């Protein structure tokens, strides 16, 4: 368990040592919530492969508190057509014990800056609803709501909506 943030988190690029901690943050979200629409948590090896592929074109950052990974954030392709090449989707997950501590804002601050420096123009975030914590984080970082995909995902025998937010970089 990660302690609540007392000072600033160290934000850095993900390394080959990080997949076990990243998988440990993500697996309970997959297993117990509709925040992720994956139904089976990826293995540590799968997380390592995902990080490696992502970092070929986009930043993949982790936040460390007292030497432990407390969260991670990354960007990915928004859509495949060439006209979308300067738009990205962004994703963030924070360890349960580090939520509402400033880790998310620190991660997104670095991620959004890195994306702007790489020439990206717009960032999009899809949030499975309801998720007031994620909405508050995104809006505090300058994301504005665009709309809702109603009943777009089905998990745990229920339909789930996804709201979309955008921030120009």
Which structural domain range is residue 79 located in? 10-120
Query: Residues 70-95: pLDDT tens digits?
Result: 999 999 999 999 999 999 999 999 99
Model pLDDT, residue 30: 98
Model pLDDT, residue 3: 38
CATH number at residue 100: 3.40.630.30
Please say if the pLDDT value at position 4 is more than 60. no
Model pLDDT, residue 7: 56
Could you give the CA distance from residue 141 to residue 162 in angstroms, rounded to a whole number? 19
Query: Residues 16-38: pLDDT tens digits?
Result: 999 999 999 999 999 999 999 99
**Is 5 inside any structural domain?**
no
Q: Which band of pLDDT confidence, cut at 50, 70 and 90, is reported for residue 66?
A: confident
Model pLDDT, residue 101: 86
Written as one string, the DSSP assignment of the chain is -PPPPSSPPEEEE--TT-HHHHHHHHHHHHHH-SSS--SSPPPHHHHHHHHHHHTTTS-EEEEEETTEEEEEEEEEES-SSGGGTTEEEEEEEE-GGGTTTTHHHHHHHHHHHHHHHTT--EEEEEEESS-HHHHHHHHHTT-EEEEEEEEEEEETTEEEEEEEEEEE-
**Is 4 inside any structural domain?**
no
Out of 1-10, 119-128, 156-165, least confident range:
1-10
Model pLDDT, residue 1: 34
**Is 45 inside any structural domain?**
yes
Query: Residues 105-145: pLDDT tens digits?
Result: 999 999 999 999 999 999 999 999 999 999 999 999 999 99
Model pLDDT, residue 9: 80
Please say if the pLDDT value at position 6 is more than 90. no
- Overall domain count for the chain: 1
Model pLDDT, residue 8: 67
**Is 146 inside any structural domain?**
no
**Is 33 inside any structural domain?**
yes
**Is 81 inside any structural domain?**
yes
């Amino acid at each position: 368990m990660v302690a609540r943030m007392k000072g600033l988190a160290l934000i850095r690029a993900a390394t080959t040592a990080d997949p076990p901690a990243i998988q440990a943050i993500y697996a309970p979200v997959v297993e117990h919530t509709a925040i992720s629409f994956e139904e089976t948590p990826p293995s540590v090896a799968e997380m390592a492969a995902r990080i490696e592929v992502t970092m070929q074109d986009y930043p993949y950052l982790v936040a460390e508190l007292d030497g432990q990974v407390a969260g991670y954030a990354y960007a990915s392709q928004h859509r495949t057509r060439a006209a979308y090449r300067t738009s990205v989707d962004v994703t963030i997950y924070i360890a349960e014990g580090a939520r509402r501590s400033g880790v998310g804002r620190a991660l997104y601050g670095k991620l959004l800056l890195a994306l702007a420096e790489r020439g990206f123009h717009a960032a999009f975030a899809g949030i499975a609803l309801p998720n007031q914590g994620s909405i508050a984080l995104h809006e505090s970082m300058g994301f504005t709501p665009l709309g809702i995909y109603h009943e777009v995902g089905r998990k745990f025998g229920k339909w789930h909506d996804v709201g979309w937010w955008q921030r120009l970089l």
